[in-house]
Structure 1
Amino acid sequence: MQADAPTPETRVSDAEDNNWVDLHAPAWARPYLRLSRADRPTPVFLLLIPCWWGLVLAMLSTQSARWEDAWIAVACTIGAFLMRGAGCTWNDITDRHIDGGVERTRSRPIPSGAVTARQALAWAVAQSLISFGILLTFHPAAVSLGVLSLLPVAVYPFAKRFTWWPQVFLGLAFNWGALLAWTAHTGSLGWPAVILYLAGICWTIFYDTIYAHQDTEDDALMGVKSTARLFGQDTARYLKYFLAGTVGLMGLAIIQALLPTASVLALVIALAGPWAMGWHMAWQLRGLDLEDNAKLLQLFRVNRDTGLIPLIFLVAALFA
């Protein structure tokens, strides 16, 4: 039997077409899965990919691969799904009075009345506790870092109220996995991981500024700040700087990690990753149309592929 198609009343306005939540999830679970943005899986990858960057870069740095690394990769995958869900749920709780006044977000579960703020809070806590249980399987230094990650996650929803740069706070939260996975493998935090983290923040500002341009009119009416509003029609010019920052910082992180021990071939292959990533980001800028919300959403979503590009080269460098 074919699943019923979601109706406009049940489907969140910016959910991905034919997503599994709207088509196949039990009716009672849909509001909670929508709180977790399970109907929009792209940002799970945007949270997960920096974890994989950090893990593979650590493996290249130490010239070692262990069975534990497979668990780190799997645990980061599960944790990314859960913590992205917890973070989005927390974001919707704090933004419940704003979301109702924004066209794109008024269909979300809390402003639409599908769940209460108290129910959403219980859901956020449940996801966080499961994530913490997974985190406890890592090296103690990584566990400490994981607990510390709750700070930027907690602050991010409020950033749009006091700074024009909330995308920086999103970058602090979304790229924490680069620090965490590196430390889970090596047992301590290193400069290559910190520089890689900064590269990820530049990348987040790049793609989330594109995403935020969908809401600039509503944000102006609600008094919500963003880099999209700050940059305005000069957005493409400013995004070139963050493109350069992403590529340059990631290249520096790779050099710092590989130069002492890796072969020249491995270094060259790894450095080709940020170079190729930069070309993909440049391609996005060529297609940028600030007045076309469908195009803006499309460009945001392709950043899953953008982040996977350097990962492919890093993995290839493991075998060089």
Structure 2
Amino acid sequence: MYPTKHPYFIGSEFGTYAYEGLKGHSVVYDPKDPYAALYDVDDGKNSRVTNSISVKGNLPISSQIYVESTVITLADCLSCIADVTAPHAGAVPRPASTLINALGRDPKGPTDSPLAVINVIQGKRVNFRVIEADGENHEPVVADSVQIFAGQRYSLILNATQSVDNYWVRANPNAGPTGFLGGINSAILRYQGASIAEPTTVSLPVNQLKETSLVPLDNPLPPAEAGINVNLNLVLGFPGGKFTINGNTFVPPTVPVLLQILSGAQSASDLLPSGSVFPLALNQTVQLSFNAAAVAAI
């Protein structure tokens, strides 16, 4: 079971499973939610699968659960089937577009491909959960936008006080096509009673969240000093367009590693390439250090 409440990402990182839509989310609810008085709506029980694969520019093809929810998933859409073989080689496929709740548009068209619609009611405060994988409560901070990376999550309480209308929800990536021309990298926030139409609103200066302004809500004391039993220095590289750690690239076997380990047939060290496994003893204190180039990728 998860150690803390909040949404968590559930997915398979074996081969191309993640890109084929084998993923979802799990929300651990807190019966004593410290933010409960701040919102009126929180339906985090259902969402759409996050990733899609497009063939020859047609968006999207994936397994999808079409249930509206306050969970928002962000993902890349790959431009062709050839791209998704890249993870086997350790390379990074180039996204064709950003998907919000599994829907999006290709910059090459068509411009009328459906976008995800997030429905709200005027006057209600909605707790949106942008899914990744963290679990720490913080003091509430007022912001209009957040910069989010893989491995992060945010709960965003939207105070729906604007006029009944359609508004843009935008996720600008740092790789692949950027901007919002033609509705790419976008979804629609629709107030109850608004027409079924795309927004005509324009972008305004935003108050972006600064992570340095986040303060733990519970303010737990730091753990006691502990002796370091293992010091691992991990050097991230990107030679030839492939990720490496300490000069080694992870190559998945034909059968998932965890499945083979659970069967008792072999150990991880027997299954994986040299340099891919760091054996640790129970109750050891491990210090991880990374090279400066790894900061943007961790």
Interval containing the TM-score (normalised by the shorter chain): under 0.3
**Higher normalized helix content (fraction of residues):** 1
TM-score of the superposed pair, with normalisation by structure 1? 0.24
**Higher normalized strand content (fraction of residues):** 2
Higher normalized contact order (CA 8 Å, seq sep 6+, divided by chain length): 1
TM-score of the superposed pair, with normalisation by structure 2? 0.25
